[in-house]
Amino acid sequence: MLSLLALTLVPALPLSAAAAVDNPCDTGQARFLLCPNLRIAPPSEIYAEKAGGHVLLRATSNVESRGKGPMELHGRRDGPRSMTVNQWIFKKGSGHLTLRTDAKLRFTYVGTYFGGSYWKVHELARFELRRVGPDLEVGGVVRTSPKLNYCLRDLTRTKPGRRSPPDRFYPGCNQNPLQDHVRLGTSIGWSDIYPATYHQQWINVTGLRGCFAYRMIVDPEENLFESNERDNMSQALVRLPYPGEPGC
């Protein structure tokens, strides 16, 4: 049995570019803002694949936008393959805040089959495997996925609603390595989904036996400003060697 833990542009009003910035979505100021909130859904598909003498446990990932406003990021180049990131948080009525974040964009190669290279948010998501004891207590991290970088975009409208735009506002991620600045984002009610077959969408489980929790965490370092940091994780229990169905 699957076990789940659910966890128009306007002039900017810049804030200080100091490294530490209070989260306005976690203060009284939030009532004047359309704060974003990212979640990551439990994997809809999990399967084991043998590759080069290893066993890879592959899973889908689905980063959902479920706040009162979009998650919108603006990157500006600070190196050959990197950008610093400002986040826009829109105000109720009009205007927005511009907040300096600790997030970075990386120009990331994902293989020829999936289109080559893209500007992606570094460490937007982390996938990890944790051992589960007989009492179903989840222990420490045993293995992690090599995937760290993630493209924010409007791929699929997964929760239509009054605040959710019916059409894509944030397209696919920029592929120009010479670009000086880019915008990434995801609208309310939309998701950025990657199939289990995607580049680095796996955890190496070679040699492992027993019950484990396959956890997915969005914004694990809390580099982005959200209305809720307590719903950023989901998980599924799996028994290894993997029998073909989740559960322990």
4: pLDDT strictly greater than 50: no
Q: What percent of the chain has pLDDT over 90?
A: 89
Rounded to two decimals, what is the model's pTM?
A: 0.88
pLDDT confidence band for 27 (50 / 70 / 90) = very high
Q: So what's the pLDDT on residue 20? A: 61
| Strand blocks (E) in 117-218 | 117-121, 125-132, 138-144, 156-157, 181-186, 190-194, 202-204, 210-218
Mean pLDDT of 223-248: 95
The residue among 75, 145, 61, 71 whose CA lies nearest residue 107 is 75
157: pLDDT strictly greater than 90: yes
Q: So what's the pLDDT on residue 199? A: 94
pLDDT confidence band for 1 (50 / 70 / 90) = very low
Task: Tell me the per-residue pLDDT of 67-117, one tens digit each, with 9 for 90 and over.
Answer: 999 999 999 999 999 999 999 999 999 999 999 999 999 999 999 999 999
Q: So what's the pLDDT on residue 11? A: 35
Mean pLDDT of 152-169: 95
Task: Tell me the per-residue pLDDT of 35-51, one tens digit each, with 9 for 90 and over.
Answer: 999 999 999 999 999 99
Q: What percent of the chain has pLDDT over 70?
A: 92
Task: Tell me the per-residue pLDDT of 198-233, one tens digit each, with 9 for 90 and over.
Answer: 999 999 999 999 999 999 999 999 999 999 999 999
Cβ atoms of 200 and 51 within 8 Å: the answer is no
3-state secondary structure of 20: coil
pLDDT confidence band for 21 (50 / 70 / 90) = confident
